[in-house]
Amino acid sequence: MTIPLGWIIGMVCALGGYALHGGHISVLWQPTEVLTIVGAAIGYMVASNSMRILKQTFAALPSAFKGSAASKRLYLDLLCLLFEILTKIRRDGLMSMEADIEEPHSSPLFEKYPAISKDHHLLEFLTDYLRMMLGGALNVVQIESLMEQELEVHHEMSHVPVGVIQKVADALPAFGIVAAVMGVVHTMGSIGLPPAELGKLIGAALVGTFLGILLAYSFVGPVATVMEQNAEAESKGFLCVKAVLLAHLNGFTAPAAVEFGRKILYADLRPSFKELDDETKAVKGK
């Protein structure tokens, strides 16, 4: 929820500075300039992207305002789930996971971790590679290579909406200039008016440049930045799954394997060794 707060701070400071110089804030309200700039930006976004990309972008936008789903609690649940899976495999064999893999939403094991079960992409990533391990057709090197390819595709897809919004932000100053030029053209057509009237028209035209730059760097640009940060944070869950499963395939025990996954996470979102140890001991005791 930092975006609205940043918008408020930016607007208060920008308008406050203008008012302190003796400016009249009401002069900055130019609906025709707003219509020109925002309309041109929307038109640019629609014209330069396919319907598939537009749907992805609009679906991803709310995440910038809700905040990232990534949290220490989420990753602690993920590591505990992976620990339980590997413990079960060690104890009962890989075939014991078949029912859980095929129907994860009705699996008692996955139901214990609703935050993971609700993340469709992460859950699918985990169950797909458990299924490949169950099939036994691929070796460790082949599974690792396939994981890297899938993660690369996932990274590209998660950054597509970021690119769309960032390009709109980059274009807004130019659309502000377009609005300003149109205002100047209108002013030149009214050159016979008194100087006071011409001054108002020129001022209204220059508002277009102001709005284009303000919208780009104080409003739209930050949204793209937050979306990118959220995508990077959430990608760590996939890397965590990859690290743990590969460690297991290389012969590490469940406690050691989940430690590989823990070390992948950002420091501020990473559970401590003791936190993870306490959680896994609690899992063992159940």
Residue 218 burial (10 A CB sphere; 0-12, 13-18, 19+): middle
- pLDDT category of residue 1 using cuts at 50, 70 and 90: low
Residue 51 burial (10 A CB sphere; 0-12, 13-18, 19+): exposed
- Long-range contacts (CB closer than 8 Å, 24 or more residues apart) made by 273-277: 275/76, 276/76, 276/79, 276/80
Give residue-wise pLDDT tens across range 224-276.
999 999 888 889 999 999 999 999 999 999 999 999 999 999 988 899 999 88
Q: Where are the alpha helices (DSSP H) in the chain?
A: 2-20, 31-47, 51-66, 72-92, 98-102, 108-111, 114-118, 120-135, 140-188, 195-214, 221-249, 254-264, 273-285
270, 274, 279, 285: CA torsion to nearest 10: 160
Q: Please tell me the distance from the alpha carbon of residue 206 to that of residue 200, in angstroms, as a whole number.
A: 10
Q: Is the pLDDT of residue 183 over 90?
A: no
Give residue-wise pLDDT tens across range 60-72.
888 888 877 788 8
Q: Is the pLDDT of residue 135 over 70?
A: yes
Neighbours of 93 (CB within 10 A): 9
Neighbours of 117 (CB within 10 A): 17
Q: What pLDDT does residue 286 have?
A: 58
SS3 42: helix
Looking at the whole model, is its pTM more than 0.95?
Answer: no
